[in-house]
Structure 1
Amino acid sequence: MENGQLTWITNFIWGIADDVLRDLYVRGKYRDVILPMTVIRRLDAVLEPTKQAVLDMKAALDRAGITNQDAALRQAAGQAFYNTSPFTLRDLKARGNRQQLEADFRAYLDGFSSNVQEIIDNFEFRNQIPRLAKADALGALIEKFLDPSINLSPYPVLNSDGTVRLPGLDNHAMGTIFEELVRRFNEENNEEAGEHWTPRDAVKLMARLIFEPIADQITDGTYLLYDGACGTGGMLTVAEETLLQLARERGKQVSVHLFGQEINAETYAICKADLLMKGEGDAADNIVGGPEHSTLSNDAFPGRTFDFMLSNPPYGKSWKSDLERMGGKDGIRDPRFVVQHRGEELSLITRSSDGQMLFLVNMLSKMKHDTPLGSRIAAVHDGSSLFAGDAGQGESNIRRWIIENDWLEAIVALPLNMFSNTGTATYVWVLTNRKPARRKGRVLLINATEWYKPLSRNLGKKNRELGEEEIRLIVDTFLQFEQTEHSMILRNAAFGYWKVTVERPLRLKGIEPERAYTPRELKALRESAERADDAPPVIKKLHKPGTVPDPLRGLFEVTIHGKPRVVEYEPDTELRDTEQIPFLECQACHTPGHLPSAEDERTAIEAFLRREVLPYAPDAWYDPASLKVGYEINFNRYFYKPKALRTLEEIRADLFAVEKEVQGLLNDIFGGHLV
């Protein structure tokens, strides 16, 4: 079917809302009726030819006392779903009595198989029936969906002479219409910024970034795709189409199985309905969701691994309720979020106000490690995922875990205003556990913020999109893996740093400089003595003779009663500071893939302090116990272009122009008498 015909059908369905629901619903609630009715009419049309076979099978099974009837009824229907009520929508169209129509329509809905029941329940469509029936709109609604000018059936409508009057609507075409309706409703409604709908151009880009780099390695076989925040399922279906197309172009026979999880009841229903309408009943059964199925606290696929994963998790959305269900921040033992890394237990638990990075961690926990291709992942995040969280905190630990495992392949900065309900900067993360040799130990950053097409009309905050040319440009930049104006290749160590606490001694007037003070004495001194830069430092500990001095670590050698002793000073909390020391202070870390050893760490930190701190504070030291490892990705630093300064000639010309303008104003005020 041509695109023009699909658009006409979409417009017709879109218009049903205005024809039937106006004055009965506010515009933002039209979707509560139109989307489930579109699903119901499509399933009804698909089941029409086998309706009697299903009824006969149902009667036979009942007579035989067989209770487990699902498989036999699916077989009789020839589909992954069925309806055992005695009605079709065409039967209900003839009902003249409003009460009888409502009762029969409910019986009709009750006759659907359990997978369709779940869709209807999550749409909460039964809640709309009393309102529609009371306003006498239910019959008009059914009649509109049965209008002879449109055909939502996969079978063609014939003229009396046997010629085709309306072509059939195959599963792909029906899925396209449904996705377009969903897109329009999403753009009409103002949803929370963290729950924005992912535009199809961004999804296409993500799919190509995970498939094209390994397209020539695709072999005959089965591949599993997963999205832990699947929404309406757009990412999964676009990814499936992309993989199948690349396989066909290379003469490969592949089978693709989709898996997803979604907490929002309505979007979950849309996803399952879309897959059913596309004829993917098995895939629909692999979509798990609803309010009780949060990906974070109730993983639907524990222990399962996937070949390819895509996701656009909610940004800036609290996951506090999940956190409480999982035992609180100190009680979480979920192996997805508390991992062993380089001999230590690493907590990947983020702030409860934003759980977006935990969805990425969830995907990483489902990577395949025993296959030639391993797993490839594409995820959309906002800018906070690049830098939020201090050293040792969950977000930073996640970046550390990813980069030190060498899983991060690239990050692509997308144009602003690509999403219809958020203007925040967005980034596509591309990850794999099978980096090619030339990418090992390195990360590619692509600045695609200037590669876009303006929309002819704004869709909320969305006024830009990626055309085919822009998508191709980004993917080619990824594949070429070269340093350019819009792409940078950085060593993994470029993102790491040590954070240490730098101390300076407490200096107080009137103290005895050659003895150590007890904690109680120190407390009294802090309250009574006066600080002064030229006062002696307060000693809090005398070490045994023979202790090796180490001034940078707070072990100072002084003379006490004529003898050399090693002491520790009481730190002045008012002078306490922290330093963030890049891993690249370590010369060995300039080798791609090298992780600093304990000796590298000490050498780099001390060299930095000698160069950057001691010239200004000779008595400073750092506390080794305070040391924490952090990672951040300061994307803008690498692509920042300072604005060119104006020349002196330009500035002089502006000054002369202003002077001339002022002179003219003064002449106007004083009537030309100003000399």
Structure 2
Amino acid sequence: MSNNFQEKVTFIWDLADLLRGAYKRNEYQKVILPFTVLKRFDSVLEYSKKDVLDNYNNYKDTIGNLEPILSRAAVDKDGNELGFYNYSKYDFKSLIQDPDHIEENLMHYLDSFSPNIQDIFENFYIKNHISRLSKANLLFLLIKKFSESRVDLHPDKVSNHEMGTIFEELIRKFSEQSNEEAGEHFTPRDVVKLMTSLIFIENGIHLNDPNLIIKIYDPACGTGGMLTSCENFIREFNTTADVVLYGQEINQEIYAICKADMLIKGEISDNIKGPSSTLSEDQLPDDRFDFMISNPPYGRKWEQDKEAVVKEAEQGFEGRFGAGLPRINDGQLLFLEHMLSKMKKDEKSRIAVITNGSPLFTGDAGSGESNIRKWIIENDYLEAIIGLPDQLFYNTGIRTYIWVLTNQKPEERKGKIQLVDASKKYIKMRKSLGNKRHQLSDDDIENILDLYCKFDENDVIKVFDKEDFGYTKVTVERPLQLNFEVTEERLENLHAVNAFSKLAVSKSKDPETKLLEENEGKQVQDEITQALQRIDKPYQNWDEFEKRVKKALKQFQLSPAFIKNIIMALSEHDDTADYVTDAKGNNKPDGKLRDTEKIPLKKDIDEYFQREVLPYYPDAWMDRKKDKIGYEINFTQYFYQYQPPRSLEEIENDIKKVTAEIQELIKEDLDET
């Protein structure tokens, strides 16, 4: 950025000092950013303002819809339509000439913009801020400052690209100032640069093709920084390519910032959709994209989207969520499904998306998370995962991961998944910004890209077959073996039997009747207990004990289910007891001893069972009807390196050293007293 640009950024940034007292520090951007946008629009409209105003005055009383006429009249000096207009007689110069009515005139000025511009300022809540500034006697002063020559944003002085750079710099500075809040909408530049490089480094598209048309999309676009980074990357190779940017954002003010930034830079601002949730209201349902890049929110509930998402999931793969639904407290995998649904059908698409660790391994076989991973991996969409350092983001210090996905892998990567551990590739920042204490230097980024391109194994690169992340979750049963005995302790278990406890419960609302029925029920409970106490010896065979119980309780005419529950209440596990069998003589499983084994897909299940289970439990068996296929990527375990514990001598020396330091401190305190 040249000194001229930096001067403008610095001057606009310094205008925030005017707001001190009336606004909190983290609110400055809510005023400065929309007024910067307003000033730019005012400057751009200057060339054709008279023509627009003349057309408005000539046709306002005779034509209902003036938008086409005014849009054609609002042009730049080369005759190109600007895509927006304003038919008010006011501009920044005339507004400050009437300080007594500046609030009223400024409101009129805003109401005279074309609908696309009004949409931006409505989502900025600019009218609320105008009223607030007016009450604080700051509105005239702010407009006057923005009218100074140092904030000359006329297109003759500042091109669209240069203005976009100024605006992005302001967004970055404000975002870093309020890093905790901004972290949800603003991804640090170093991370964006790495992600951008990863999706273009192997693209299958010749970026220098003069007829190139590239569609790029971010479903959680925030301020649009990732989209801009992608376009800038392409422009380094091809200045004539038609790069079309698309995005959707849920936050109103952030949506306004992004849309304004796109309009400032001459992009198609209508391609930025919102403010609404991508998950429940996809505003680009029929579009497919060449490249997608995103940093969706981590660990955020998708409860507000649940009804729409579940309804769409019921459509299977006719909708976006056919692979499954994750648990309600984290929607990251929903964004992954959504982005994969936006890939082109017969052409190459590539995706770079950043997540925390949860989508890699959360969820057991058969869960929504595991099923989504299964679908992604079995369809060979996942190309690589890069593990990043911690403390890279403003609002969180956790480790994050970049997923690189595509529908057309290069030949050498087909059926393979590459893991890259880049957790040590960073430099410490001189001054932390919220939780961001580390950053990726240009050398770090080049290093990581080099690791990705090598595609061979070492300490920080692992290459797996896609099946290596899958497993069969097999249910292992062990036989039910019980002994039976009527003791005081075991009789207490009867009160946990629902049918037994209900005997002493009355549904009557009449107090006397209720008490009578409850007492009668307790009497029956006592009689059952007394009848059981006549069984005076232990048993190790279910059938024998069942016969004895039925005989003892014959007079009560209890149901078979009630009898079974009584028997279970009087039982305990006993490895020496007879096996409990069903009517066909098959061993019944003991639910308390039931276990599962995760057997890698590449291993023979029967061989595994013979080797790993039967030597320890020779009477165990597998219930293969309950088999479930799962997928998980336990990233850190693949890079784990054993560190031997410190020697006792070393630990003892450290203890002696610390003890000596403590004694010295105690001595100093005693000397002072």
TM-score where L is the length of structure 2 = 0.82
Moved more, 529-538 or 138-147: 529-538
Decide whether aligned partners of structure 1 residues 113 and 571 sit closer, same or farther in structure 2, where only a CA change above 3 A counts. same
Residue aligning to 1:564: none
Which structure dedicates a bigger proportion of its chain to strand?
Answer: 1
1:201 aligns with 2:190: yes
Q: Please state how far the C-alpha of 1:569 moved relative to its aligned partner.
A: 1.7
* Contact residue 498 and residue 629 of structure 1 kept, 8 A: yes
Residue aligning to 1:400: 374
Decide whether aligned partners of structure 1 residues 396 and 112 sit closer, same or farther in structure 2, where only a CA change above 3 A counts. same
Decide whether aligned partners of structure 1 residues 11 and 660 sit closer, same or farther in structure 2, where only a CA change above 3 A counts. closer
Q: Please state how far the C-alpha of 1:444 moved relative to its aligned partner.
A: 0.7
Q: Please state how far the C-alpha of 1:59 moved relative to its aligned partner.
A: 3.0
* 2:166 alignment partner AA: I
Residue aligning to 2:2: 3
Which structure dedicates a bigger proportion of its chain to helix?
Answer: 2
* 1:207 alignment partner AA: T
* Contact residue 203 and residue 350 of structure 2 kept, 8 A: no
* 1:398 alignment partner AA: I
Residue number among 350, 358, 364 corresponding to 2:334 in the alignment: 358
User: Secondary structure of 1:434's partner?
Assistant: coil
Decide whether aligned partners of structure 1 residues 221 and 618 sit closer, same or farther in structure 2, where only a CA change above 3 A counts. same
Whole-Å separation in 2 of the counterparts to 1:212 and 1:74: 41
Q: Please state how far the C-alpha of 1:254 moved relative to its aligned partner.
A: 2.0
Whole-Å separation in 1 of the counterparts to 2:290 and 2:104: 47
Decide whether aligned partners of structure 1 residues 665 and 360 sit closer, same or farther in structure 2, where only a CA change above 3 A counts. closer
Residue aligning to 2:139: 138
User: Secondary structure of 1:29's partner?
Assistant: helix
1:319 aligns with 2:337: no
Decide whether aligned partners of structure 1 residues 69 and 196 sit closer, same or farther in structure 2, where only a CA change above 3 A counts. closer
Residue aligning to 1:223: 214
Q: Give 1:509-524 correspondences, 5 Å limit.
A: 509=483, 510=539, 512=541, 522-524=564-566
* 1:186 alignment partner AA: S
Q: Please state how far the C-alpha of 1:229 moved relative to its aligned partner.
A: 0.4
Residue number among 277, 300, 315 corresponding to 2:264 in the alignment: 277
* Contact residue 51 and residue 73 of structure 2 kept, 8 A: no
Whole-Å separation in 1 of the counterparts to 2:74 and 2:451: 52
Whole-Å separation in 2 of the counterparts to 1:652 and 1:96: 80
Whole-Å separation in 2 of the counterparts to 1:660 and 1:453: 32
* Percentage of pairs with the same residue: 44
Whole-Å separation in 1 of the counterparts to 2:266 and 2:274: 20
Whole-Å separation in 1 of the counterparts to 2:636 and 2:457: 16
Q: Give 1:443-482 correspondences, 5 Å limit.
A: 443-482=417-456
Residue aligning to 1:548: none
* 2:165 alignment partner AA: T
Residue aligning to 1:24: 22
Moved more, 232-241 or 617-626: 617-626
Decide whether aligned partners of structure 1 residues 200 and 505 sit closer, same or farther in structure 2, where only a CA change above 3 A counts. same
Decide whether aligned partners of structure 1 residues 21 and 617 sit closer, same or farther in structure 2, where only a CA change above 3 A counts. same
Residue number among 29, 37, 40 corresponding to 1:39 in the alignment: 37
* 2:613 alignment partner AA: V
Structure 1: where are the runs of 5+ without partners?
Answer: 156-167, 340-345, 543-566, 586-603, 670-675
Structure 2: where are the runs of 5+ without partners?
Answer: 76-80, 484-538, 547-559, 667-673
* Contact residue 56 and residue 66 of structure 2 kept, 8 A: no
Residue number among 579, 597, 603 corresponding to 1:579 in the alignment: 597
* 1:526 alignment partner AA: M
Residue number among 247, 259, 267 corresponding to 2:254 in the alignment: 267
How far does the alpha carbon of each residue in 1:160-187 deviate from its partner, in whole angstroms, 9 at most, with x for none?
xxxxxxxx11111211111121122222
* 1:299 alignment partner AA: D
Q: Please state how far the C-alpha of 1:520 moved relative to its aligned partner.
A: 6.4
* Contact residue 426 and residue 440 of structure 2 kept, 8 A: yes
Q: Please state how far the C-alpha of 1:484 moved relative to its aligned partner.
A: 2.0
Q: Please state how far the C-alpha of 1:137 moved relative to its aligned partner.
A: 0.9
Whole-Å separation in 1 of the counterparts to 2:660 and 2:289: 75
* 1:324 alignment partner AA: E
Q: Please state how far the C-alpha of 1:244 moved relative to its aligned partner.
A: 2.6
Decide whether aligned partners of structure 1 residues 465 and 84 sit closer, same or farther in structure 2, where only a CA change above 3 A counts. same
Whole-Å separation in 2 of the counterparts to 1:439 and 1:664: 58
Q: Please state how far the C-alpha of 1:316 moved relative to its aligned partner.
A: 0.8
How far does the alpha carbon of each residue in 1:311-368 deviate from its partner, in whole angstroms, 9 at most, with x for none?
11000111101103445799676843443xxxxxx4x211111111111110100111
User: Secondary structure of 1:214's partner?
Assistant: coil
User: Secondary structure of 1:483's partner?
Assistant: coil
RMSD: 2.7
User: Secondary structure of 1:574's partner?
Assistant: helix
* 1:135 alignment partner AA: A
Residue aligning to 1:437: 411
Q: Please state how far the C-alpha of 1:369 moved relative to its aligned partner.
A: 2.0
Decide whether aligned partners of structure 1 residues 67 and 417 sit closer, same or farther in structure 2, where only a CA change above 3 A counts. same
Whole-Å separation in 2 of the counterparts to 1:74 and 1:127: 31
Residue number among 274, 277, 280 corresponding to 1:294 in the alignment: 277
Residue aligning to 1:619: 619
